[in-house]
Amino acid sequence: MFHDAGNGQIGATDGRARPRRFELREVSVERAGRLVLDDVSATLPGGSVAVFGPSGAGKSTLLRLLNRLLEPSRGAVLYEGRDLREIDPLELRRRVALVPQLPALEPATVADNLRLGQRFAAVGRWLRWGRQVGATGADAAGADRDALAKLLASVGLGPEYLARQAERLSVGEQQRVMIARALALDPEVLLLDEPTAALDADSRRQVEQTLTRLRRERGIALVLVSHDRQQVARLCEWVVELDRGKLVAAGSCSEVLGRVGG
């Protein structure tokens, strides 16, 4: 069943195709006595959204508000119509999973890094349903090579990567493992902070293809911080543009970045 999400976007009311909409209402964030976000009101309608702007604009700050790694000093952030303060932070961080900036993997095998994601997911299940996570829970799941290989496959990496040391992978491979680790949470939304900043052109293309596939095939919504106009145009349908903590524009990619490619 489809409905108008109230913002011109058409989305399904149930399942993976839901719009995954965030709303910022008069949000300010003060850090070290300075306003790094200043009275920002904007809708992020779901699908693939870019938070775009120059260095220091407040992009990462905005991203971290979306799963409560940071709280607004004033104003409110809503997800699917609910104030984030009403949602348990662990539950929220499972549904809205952050892929942090590199390097963020543990100096361990890829399999062990993926198990960390699975354990966090298991704790979330336990909190939700009060189920004991025992030998048949997180540990068994963590030992499930097939499940780990499946996570890797969803980012285009083969099972031979499971035994590799994470810190010896290329940065592009590390980035894809980080996305796979976040996917262990079975999230509705992936938050990505400059996911290709440290990557060469080939690796960047692979990560972008991975994200496009996750969006198209699994309906995972993306919120992506980027200062790369061309990348935003390639990946995102909606753009929230910031500069020095202020909202500059919010709208469809063509509305906000109309000059791309020109």
Ligand X SMILES: Nc1ncnc2c1ncn2[C@@H]1O[C@H](COP(=O)(O)OP(=O)(O)OP(=O)(O)O)[C@@H](O)[C@H]1O
> Applying CB under 6 A, which residues contact ligand X?
31-32, 36, 53, 55-61, 227
At its nearest, how many Å lie between ligand X and the CB of residue 57?
4
Question: Which lies closer to ligand X via its Cβ, residue 56 or residue 107?
Answer: 56
**Distance between CA atoms of residues 148 and 103, nearest Å:** 21
Question: Which lies closer to ligand X via its Cβ, residue 31 or residue 218?
Answer: 31
At its nearest, how many Å lie between ligand X and the CB of residue 38?
11
DSSP 3-state of 164: coil
Residue pair 218/16 in contact by the 8 Å Cβ criterion: yes
**Distance between CA atoms of residues 224 and 52, nearest Å:** 8
Question: Which lies closer to ligand X via its Cβ, residue 139 or residue 243?
Answer: 243
At its nearest, how many Å lie between ligand X and the CB of residue 62?
7
At its nearest, how many Å lie between ligand X and the CB of residue 201?
20
Mark 113-142 as b/e (b = at least 16 C-beta within 10 Å): bbbebbbbbbebbbeeeeeebeeebbeebb
Spatial neighbors of 89 by CB under 8 A, at least 6 apart, are 67, 68
Q: Shortest CA distance to 247 belongs to which of 37, 30, 65?
A: 37
Question: Which lies closer to ligand X via its Cβ, residue 55 or residue 136?
Answer: 55
Question: Which lies closer to ligand X via its Cβ, residue 27 or residue 111?
Answer: 27
At its nearest, how many Å lie between ligand X and the CB of residue 174?
19
Q: Shortest CA distance to 111 belongs to which of 68, 143, 83, 88?
A: 143
At its nearest, how many Å lie between ligand X and the CB of residue 59?
4
Question: Which lies closer to ligand X via its Cβ, residue 155 or residue 257?
Answer: 257
Question: Which lies closer to ligand X via its Cβ, residue 31 or residue 150?
Answer: 31
Residue pair 235/46 in contact by the 8 Å Cβ criterion: no
Integer CA distances (angstroms), 221 to 19, 119, 192, 213, 224, in order: 8, 23, 11, 11, 10
* C-alpha 54, offset from chain centre: 20
At its nearest, how many Å lie between ligand X and the CB of residue 185?
23
